[in-house]
Amino acid sequence: LVWDFLDGPYNKWHIYYTNWGFTLLTCHAVWAAIVCVIGYRTERSTNDSESDRSSTSDDDDWYHKVEWVLFNTAIPLAFYLTTAYCGFLSSGTFKVISVFEHIMNTVLATLDLFICGIPVRLLHILHVFIFGWIYAGFTIVYWAAGGTNAEGEPYVYWFVDYSSHPGRAACFIAGSALVGTSAIYLFVYGLYRLR
């Protein structure tokens, strides 16, 4: 995250969906580490008898629920960002930071998906939808407030240009949310079922 922030235009870093997704993936990784430490400490401090194990369960603790939401949002989003970048934004030349943001994030997400024991449920696609709609709302507010991208153009991405092509922008957002996100989430669910 620090390298990414320092490498790009500092005052525009927050406007890109890639950076939102990368930040979310980082938050997921940090939170997962915290949950692991809590679990390890809890396990060491409790009595190892079978009666204690059956009567105490951490499955419903709030920090597990937060981790589940972060996981259910960050992992599919990493796949989505890689697909969107390679399909819409890539010019064919890659900077190291660009490869890390758009491709390595999916490699890390895939490893996480196969290594960790967090279940993927189809209904939890709502987490990704909500995150995407929040970002779409942000781009609309940012555009309406006169925001520009790093090149000074009045949009964040060319395919969501509300000034020149509002119809195309609306179609892209709706299609991305309904078709793109659903397809990516089903792919992630399929990988989950393979593990």
* Distance from C-alpha of 133 to C-alpha of 125, rounded to nearest angstrom: 12
Dihedral sign of CA atoms 63, 66, 70, 72 in order: positive
Residues of the chain with pLDDT under 70: 1-10, 47-59, 88-94
Q: What is the pLDDT of residue 52?
A: 53
Q: What is the pLDDT of residue 153?
A: 94
Q: What is the pLDDT of residue 6?
A: 55
User: Would you say 123 and 5 are in contact if contact means Cβ atoms under 8 Å apart?
Assistant: no
> How far are the Cα atoms of 34, 110, 121, 147 from residue 116, in angstroms, in the given order?
14, 10, 15, 40
Q: What is the pLDDT of residue 179?
A: 93
Q: What is the pTM of this model?
A: 0.84
User: Would you say 106 and 79 are in contact if contact means Cβ atoms under 8 Å apart?
Assistant: yes
Domain count, the chain: 1
Q: What is the pLDDT of residue 177?
A: 87
Q: What is the pLDDT of residues 3-19, one digit of tens each?
A: 545 555 567 989 999 99
Q: What is the pLDDT of residue 43?
A: 86
Nearest to 69 by CA among 35, 42, 19, 108: 35
User: Would you say 74 and 25 are in contact if contact means Cβ atoms under 8 Å apart?
Assistant: yes
Q: What is the pLDDT of residue 114?
A: 96
Q: What is the pLDDT of residue 57?
A: 56
Q: For residue 160, what are the domain limits?
A: 2-194
Q: Where are the alpha helices (DSSP H) in 12-144?
A: 17-45, 50-55, 62-84, 96-99, 105-115, 125-144
Query: Which contiguous run of DSSP H or E holds residue 156?
Result: none
* Distance from C-alpha of 73 to C-alpha of 32, rounded to nearest angstrom: 13
